A and B are shown apart, each in its own frame.
Chain A
Amino acid sequence: MRRDYIPERGKMETVAKIEPFAAGAAVDRRALEEQCERLMREHGPSVVRLAAAYESNPANRDDLVQEIALALWKALHQFRGECSERTLVFRIAQNRALTHVWRRKQSPGELEEADEVPDSRATPESQASAGQLRDRLLAAIRSLPVGHRQVMVLLLEGMSHAEIAEVLGITEGNVAVRANRARKELRNQLGELR
């Protein structure tokens, strides 16, 4: 991971380790696929967790993950290193997830009920050891309005308010407001975490 000084932020930050393709240059498809596969290896678990926040059906969730991977591959063609690779991956994942939400016949603010469809890949042991908190958390996240859900998922992935603002195109103040509301709603659903 390379760290550079970002003048707009006035601090050192981790920046893209993707080698940007020069504008107009012929794109090496193999290099592109390798970069995309590396990104999916590194950020794949985060992408799957993000997809799970928007889709409870395992088959549809896998489709969404594939759509995200494809969108990432397409975006890499034109990526000029404008942001860090983590920001790039999360931007694309959030945008695809948003498309997924509006393509389903639901209004964006509508509360979404957690599906009862079991995940065939999860074994009984892993389900037991994963604990109930994660399942309850996932169900609670899915019930949040989309605007709050977007912020909460990125927060749970360990992103700072500044990074979330960069992914979503909103101000840090707006991120803070949404995060507070989302946490309040989660507290209401999950109770005090002890």
Chain B
Amino acid sequence: MNEANELNALQAAWQQESPAVPPDLRKLVDRQTWLIRLHTAVELLISAVFLGGSLWLAIVMQGPEFVVLAIAVWIVTLTAMIYSLSNRAGTWQPAAHDTHEFLQLSLRRCRAGLRAVAFGLYLLLAQVLLLALWHTWYWSGHSPVPGIQDWLLALCVPVVVLAVLLVLRTRGRRELNRLESMERSLFG
């Protein structure tokens, strides 16, 4: 059998089956749209809680400590928001690229994700340090000073955030390795 006939035979066998495809696209699109809106709403809500809460504390409590706290919170939150937007630059192109471009874009997205996680770790460290300094300053002039249990309870939040960030970093690195290996395999 010559090559052309062989290909024809393979094509005929391959296209023999003509499966129907009724994906419930509308439902799928609705769910996806809802998830995107939810994600945006949660991001906005978290920012609003931090920015609004610190501002509210500064206005209600009227002490210099709370003004300093509000300024620190605003600086940290706005830095995070600006970094998040700038880090996403160049990763929003449409999905209709050819495979080579798509793989390059996926690598860029994965690296941007890892940079964001690294930034999150530094930000967490900065927040913990700032809050520790602020608490030390604040409780030096106020009483009763919280007990060790309260401090340990407060430490749970950064520990959980740290654990989440480390899991994300491990996953991101694994995905980057797979993507790089696929790029080498497909495009040398």
Contact = CB atoms under 8 A, between A and B. Distances in A.
Contacts of A48: 19, 21
A107 B182 CA distance: 7
Interface residues of B, number: 41
A169 B105 CA distance: 13
Nearest to B174: A105
A47 interface: yes
A95 B97 contact: yes
B161 to A, nearest CB: 25
Contacts of A166: 98
A70 B29 contact: yes
A109 B184 CA distance: 10
Interface string B86-97: 000000001111
A2 B160 CA distance: 58
Nearest to A61: B19
Contact of B25 (A69, A131, A156): A69
Contacts of B95: 71, 74-75, 92, 95
Contacts of B186: 108, 146-147, 150
A116 to B, nearest CB: 19
Interface in B67-102: 94-102
B37 interface: no
Nearest to A75: B96
Contacts of B40: none
A44 B181 contact: no
A69 B23 contact: yes
B99 A145 contact: no
Contact of B96 (A78, A98, A183): A78
B142 interface: no
B129 to A, nearest CB: 37
Interface in A130-154: 130-131, 133-134, 137, 145-147, 150
Contact of A66 (B23, B100, B106, B187): B23
Given A40-B23, A79-B94, A170 B187 contact: yes
Chain A: interface size category? 35 or more
Contacts of A8: none
Nearest to B7: A155
A92 B96 contact: yes
A131 B7 contact: no
A86 B20 CA distance: 18
Contact of A75 (B3, B14, B28, B94): B94
B17 to A, nearest CB: 6
Interface string A43-63: 011011100000000000010
27 contacts: A36-B25, A45-B18, A49-B15, A62-B23, A66-B28, A69-B23, A70-B29, A70-B32, A73-B25, A79-B96, A91-B97, A94-B99, A99-B106, A102-B178, A102-B179, A107-B185, A131-B16, A134-B13, A137-B14, A145-B185, A146-B185, A155-B11, A158-B11, A168-B98, A168-B100, A183-B3, A192-B1
Interface of A: 33, 36-37, 40-41, 44-45, 47-49, 62, 65-66, 69-71, 73-75, 77-79, 82-83, 88, 91-92, 94-95, 98-99, 101-103, 107-109, 121, 130-131, 133-134, 137, 145-147, 150, 155-158, 166-170, 183, 186, 192-194
